[in-house]
């Protein structure tokens, strides 16, 4: 797998079992998370975590709202919660090297990563793609980021529409933390400042 990822510009951080690359101002990561209970050859379990980050976003957020962003994450996925990263050899998103032929297992992990995982990373390494993806994945807890990413992509109308859609969803759902509504109020004030 390393040669394939290296060919795409990823570098291996051996201490972390993480591959990283910069792409158009974004940082993409492929991390192999190990089970805390791994033991010799009796338990050898791992899962994939993919993420996109942007230090530009945290600086923009501070400059725009005069408060620090929660974090620099754009989006992330793991093989436990994302069917695009599952293979016939995964069980609830976990891969167990003691239960399967290691070569066959790693071939399917490589295929999932190269055919579907890289696509997830690349789509979220673009502001509009990131916002669209968060909406499609119904990650409405990221309402502030969805709005911000549409603003950064120059789609003010989509930013405004996303706020309204998510606010309506929250009101129907009920029991939503007040912080989410505060994020919406801050973004509405920002929209007013643009006119």
Please write the tens of the pLDDT for every residue from 81-95: 888 888 888 878 889
Q: Which of 125, 151, 172 is the last residue of a domain?
A: 125
Q: What is the pLDDT of residue 193?
A: 94
Q: What is the pLDDT of residue 191?
A: 96
Instruction: Check whether residue 93 and residue 165 sit in a common domain.
Output: no
Q: What is the pLDDT of residue 40?
A: 80
Q: Identify whether 132 is part of a domain.
A: no
Number of domains in the chain: 2
Low-confidence ranges of the chain (pLDDT < 50): none
Residue 25's domain comprises: 2-125
Alpha-carbon distance of 144 to 85, in angstroms, equals 27
Q: What is the pLDDT of residue 50?
A: 97
Q: Identify whether 134 is part of a domain.
A: no
Q: Which of 125, 159, 185 is the last residue of a domain?
A: 125
Instruction: Check whether residue 91 and residue 151 sit in a common domain.
Output: no
Q: Identify whether 130 is part of a domain.
A: no
Q: What is the pLDDT of residue 90?
A: 82
Q: What is the pLDDT of residue 119?
A: 96
Q: What is the pLDDT of residue 72?
A: 98
Instruction: Check whether residue 85 and residue 161 sit in a common domain.
Output: no
Instruction: Check whether residue 11 and residue 106 sit in a common domain.
Output: yes
Task: Choose among 152, 112, 116: nearest CA to 132.
Answer: 152
Q: Report percent pLDDT > 90 for the chain.
A: 75
Q: Which of 94, 125, 156 is the last residue of a domain?
A: 125
Residue 50: partners with Cβ closer than 8 Å, 6 or more residues away: 28, 29, 30, 31, 76, 77, 78, 85, 117, 120, 121
Q: Identify whether 131 is part of a domain.
A: no
């Amino acid at each position: 797998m390393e040669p394939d990822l290296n060919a795409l510009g990823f570098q291996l951080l051996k201490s972390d079992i993480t591959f990283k690359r910069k792409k158009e101002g974004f940082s993409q990561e492929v991390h192999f998370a190990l089970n805390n209970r791994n033991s010799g050859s009796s338990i050898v379990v791992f899962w994939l975590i993919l993420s996109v980050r942007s230090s530009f976003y945290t600086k923009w957020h501070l400059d725009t709202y005069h408060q620090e962003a929660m974090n620099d994450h754009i989006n992330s996925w793991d093989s436990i919660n994302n069917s695009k990263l599952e293979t016939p050899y995964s069980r609830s998103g976990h891969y167990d090297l003691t239960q399967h032929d290691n070569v066959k297992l790693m071939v399917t992990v490589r295929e999932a990563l190269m055919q579907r995982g890289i696509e997830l990373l690349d789509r979220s390494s673009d502001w509009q793609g990131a916002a669209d993806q968060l909406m499609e994945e119904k990650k409405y807890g990221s309402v502030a980021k969805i709005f911000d990413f549409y603003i950064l992509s120059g789609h003010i109308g989509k930013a405004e529409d996303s706020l309204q859609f998510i606010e309506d969803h929250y009101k129907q759902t009920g029991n939503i933390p007040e912080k989410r509504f505060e994020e919406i109020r801050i973004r509405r004030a920002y929209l007013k400042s643009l006119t």
